Copies of this chain bind each other. A is one copy, B any other.
Amino acid sequence: MAVVKRIDHVAILVDDLEKTLTFWQDGLGMQMTHLEDVPAEKSIVAFLPVGGSELELVKPTTGDSGLSRYLEKRGPGMHHICLEVDDIEGMLDRLREQGVQLINETPVTGAGGKRYAFVHPKSANGVMVELYELPR
């Protein structure tokens, strides 16, 4: 049976990346490992590891993406939580059986062979949940 292994990351939507990094780095003492341009999401992402998880600070780079519209509507703040699962197909199958609405019916393959899918917040109490499985 497919299981959730851990929180992989919490994604935070930001409007001012420099100011936000000042808080997390100079204030809380966390360290950014790298900054990644993600053209597919029209955003730039700063990665800050914490324990075995990560915070991802996501800044939209254009005004016409889903993320930029979300930012405009809701303001900056937590955007989604990503959970690592051991078997993403098995997990999506079970969610469908439970009547859960999915954004991605089949896993999307991202950087490094990681496969991911989003659950619709309507089915998850307003929380945007990302599921991902590492390549074996």
Q: Using a CB–CB distance below 8 Å, which chain A residues touch chain B?
A: 1-7, 10, 12, 14-16, 19-20, 22-23, 26-30, 50-53, 57, 75-78, 81, 83-84, 91, 94-95, 98, 100, 121, 123-127, 129
Sample of 27 A–B contacts (CB below 8 Å): A2-B29, A4-B28, A4-B29, A5-B50, A5-B51, A6-B53, A7-B50, A7-B53, A16-B125, A23-B123, A23-B125, A27-B123, A28-B83, A28-B129, A29-B91, A29-B94, A51-B52, A51-B53, A51-B84, A53-B53, A75-B126, A76-B125, A77-B125, A77-B127, A78-B81, A78-B126, A78-B127
State in angstroms the CA–CA spacing of A121 and B121 once bound together: 22
